[in-house]
Structure 1
Amino acid sequence: MTVSRPPSPGSAAGTPNAQIAADLHVSVDTVRRWRSRFAVGGLAALTDAKRSGRPVGPGRPAYQEFEYVRHGTVSIVAALDVQTGQVITEPIGRNDSVTFHRFLTMLDTAIDPAKQIHVVLDNGSSHVAKATRAWLAAHPRWHVHWTRSTPPGSTGRRRRVGGRRGGEGTRTARGAGR
């Protein structure tokens, strides 16, 4: 995590942690950590150090930080007309429901109103957002086909495996539903 904003100047003046958290839209625990780190190491302690991840060894690849350089790649949304092979693409800065909603609206105006539209979606947050579901419900010519979110043959239900106190955890139940 990179600290984008240090605690407000009021923290030195005794502003309560809850007020600082509300002003900066962070949790009270985050403000407590900031104050503790500042008390020990000053302003320099408020920046995060690189995380090393798990140790690399034979058969164990290193983890990569989630903040990576895209090296010129771009995120897009795309639609394919299966009859003509025409692809409509649009580069996007964010993959959120607002961006997806805008793309659906653009497609809805670009495609002949007499045609039915079939769209295949996964369970990405922009696809399952309330605003997206409301938009799709309000446009009856759009037919949604959802991709599987569980392996074939799986019920998707969770069950405990192993002993009662063994702590083996849970795993997805396999086979037909019971």
Structure 2
Amino acid sequence: MRNILLATAALTLFAVPAAAQSIQTPAWSGSVGYTHLDGDNADLGAITGRLDARLHPNFGLEGEASIGVRDDDITVAGVTGSIEQDYDAAGYAVGYLPINPNLELFGRIGYGTTRIKADIAGFEASEDGESVNYGVGANYFFDGVNGIRGDITRRDFTDDNGGKIDTYGVSYVRRF
């Protein structure tokens, strides 16, 4: 799965037509939606907001931030507790592949930070993790400005504990 995601992201980043189609000023869009985080030990949920700057018909930059809204129960050494995402933030380079005026595919690669909190038997702890993120998705616009977005992104954590989280998101998108 990792190789498929990387190959798709690379193809969309390098599928750039002639520079004559460049955008004079950045085209902006924003989105808000729900992101499901599928980790090794817990499934969490977050509300995610994004701001995109399209610098070229096939290339742009994206910033995203999320706040956790769904926690998961965990058991450690027979003691029950909960785990939740506190927040995350990331920046991405995005390659777009327009299919028609309403549909576009994209691949993205970036870097982010995530904070997870755990509460077990009244003891609370949190940990930050830095990650290299990569994924693919699609935008479908109903009209010229309103649409939906679906994406899958993997977060490969770079710290000593390592690990990975796969995220699945659905969002409302608005072009400005």
TM-score if structure 2 supplies the norm length? 0.23
When Rg is computed on C-alpha atoms for both structures, the one with the higher figure is: 1
Which structure shows the higher strand fraction? 2
Flag the structure with higher helix content.
1
Task: Provide the TM-score with structure 1 as the length reference.
Answer: 0.23
